[in-house]
Amino acid sequence: MNIQTIMVVGAGQMGSGIVQVAAASGLKVLLHDISMAFIDKGLVSINKQLARGVEKGGLTEVRKAEILSRIQPSEQLEQAEQVDLVIEAISENMVLKTSLFQRLDTICPPRAILASNTSSLPITEIAAVTGRPSQVIGMHFMNPVPVMPLVEVIRGLETSQEVFEAVYKLSERMGKTPVEVKDFPGFVSNRILMPMINEAIFTVYEGVASVESVDTVMKLGMKHPMGPLELADFIGLDTCLSIMEILYEGFKDSKYRPCPLLRKYVKAGRLGRKSGQGFYSYHG
């Protein structure tokens, strides 16, 4: 499979990061979202990231312009009829994702691969709403995409070997280290990471230690670059809660029950960095 043109659906932090690394690898990339305002915001973010690269000396102005020239804003999802691969990077919501994949299935050429950047939802379930389940796969990039080298490549029940190999090679072309993962709730990354974050929240909830103390123990004692509660704020507490609920629902095991304090913070709108307040304050 010769993948040369792709569409990324979703111009948020993950989507714009995927667009940047894809364009840098020589691919032609269409960036789609539900409005031009969101697309423009994504393009501004990419421009800023590349400008930072120029400032630090890792990128030339010529190279920056070359990368940007490969990115095309796409207001119409119907433009997916010209691509070899679509990478979906929208909200972590099964209803939204399956609705999008149903539409893409009718628009994309028969040869096209449909990939999801889901961090925890089952690829097999997403694939089942299409007429091409053998061509549906998971590509779980890490945040921030331009910096983090890992991509979890997730096979659904029907994903063909040919599609898996094509996506694996594409991940390498994009400068990433792909790791094959089977289709289980949370895959590997979030099945291990989120219960750790959840347990860190329980230690605060139960009064074992303060937020700062928990993070200090994990940074100094376990050599983590960021404490679990600081990391939760970075990811977004609503996202952490959503993934814990997917794990709890998927395994029906009480060890995955979300901490009540996590639920309370999300209900209060304390979502972390993006809202200005989580376990830490980000005002001013």
8 Å CB contact between 87 and 154: no
The 10s digit of each residue's pLDDT in 105-137 is: 999 999 999 999 999 999 999 999 999 999 999
**Could you tell me if 43 and 71 are in contact, meaning their C-beta atoms sit under 8 angstroms apart?**
yes
Residue 1: per-residue pLDDT:
79
Query: 45, 117, 119, 171: which is the annotated catalytic residue?
Result: 119
Confidence of residue 283 (pLDDT cuts 50, 70, 90): confident
Catalytic residue among 190, 198, 230, 242: 190
Is 252 a residue whose pLDDT tops 90?
Answer: yes
Q: Catalytic site residue 152? A: yes
- Mean pLDDT score, 196-207: 98
Distance CA 248, CA 11 (A): 29
Judge whether 119 counts as a catalytic residue. yes
Total Cβ atoms within 10 A of residue 179: 16
Instruction: Give the pLDDT confidence score for residue 62 in this predicted structure.
Output: 96
What is the per-residue DSSP string for 28-81?
A: EEEEE-SSHHHHHHHHHHHHHHHHHHHHTTSS-HHHHHHHHHTEEEES-GGGGG
**Max Cα-Cα span within the chain:** 56
Q: Considering 116, 140, 198, 242, which one is annotated as catalytic?
A: 140
User: Of the listed 16, 32, 74, 152, which one is catalytic?
Assistant: 152
Res 73 pLDDT > 90: yes
Q: What is the mean pLDDT of the chain?
A: 97
Q: Is 224 one of the annotated active-site residues of the chain?
A: no
Q: What tens digit of pLDDT does each residue of 11-55 get?
A: 999 999 999 999 999 999 999 999 999 999 999 999 999 999 999
Is the pTM higher than 0.85? The answer reads yes
Check if 140 is active-site.
Answer: yes
